[in-house]
Amino acid sequence: MPKKFMKRYLPTPDKIRGIRSLHFLGDILHEPNLWHINRHGVSRAFMVGIFWCFIPMPFQMVAAAFFALWLNANLPLSVALVWISNPLTMPAIFYFNYKLGAWLLGRPVLAFEFQLSWEWLSSRIMDIGIPLYFGSLVTATFAGCISYLLLQLLWRRKVRSDWARRNEHRFD
């Protein structure tokens, strides 16, 4: 079931190969494991996509795509999972990451109001940036590893139950 569901919504390799702006990648996109839906590729895709969705940086999808290529994970799924952190969820995710980082580093959580000015940003970057990125790395690593292990476990459980159901019907 998960395989059929994912295949329905993910783009086909031929469709991606037809995009002219991606031709600079050459034969990298022809690697079948980047498109194949199996336990290992999908688990790695979850690890990569969920890791990068917790890192506050521009172009998260590009980073997820490069790591998916490097780790031989399912490419479209890795890139799609980055959208867990979207403009609606980013403030809550990054505030949690900041509070976690401040707590782990033993720093007080600063009460602040965001101002879109260079003066505010340059004066607060060290006070807020270090706990934010440290908390983001901890959260991203933990969430990525947990998602990888959980998906491996759930996929195996599903395969075992399918096998048991088939054996049950076979002997009836």
* Mean of pLDDT values over 89-116: 83
Which amino acid is it at 5?
Answer: F
Q: Is 157 exposed, middle or buried (0-12, 13-18, 19+ CB in 10 A)?
A: exposed
pLDDT at 130: 86
pLDDT at 139: 95
pLDDT at 24: 58
Give dist(CA 4, CA 27) in Å, integer. 27
Three-state SS for 106?
Answer: coil
Domain around 50: 2-170
* Mean of pLDDT values over 48-57: 93
Whether residue 1 is predicted with pLDDT greater than 50 in this model: the reply is no
Whether residue 150 is predicted with pLDDT greater than 90 in this model: the reply is yes
* Mean of pLDDT values over 134-157: 93
pLDDT digits (tens, 9 = 90+) for 59-88: 888 899 888 888 888 888 888 899 998 889
DSSP 28: G
Give dist(CA 33, CA 148) in Å, integer. 17
Whether residue 172 is predicted with pLDDT greater than 90 in this model: the reply is no
Give dist(CA 125, CA 134) in Å, integer. 13
Q: Residue 23 has which token pair? A: 């031709």
Q: Please give the model's pTM, rounded to 2 decimal places.
A: 0.76
Whether residue 19 is predicted with pLDDT greater than 70 in this model: the reply is no
Total tally of structural domains belonging to the chain: 1
pLDDT digits (tens, 9 = 90+) for 104-130: 988 888 776 666 667 766 777 777 888
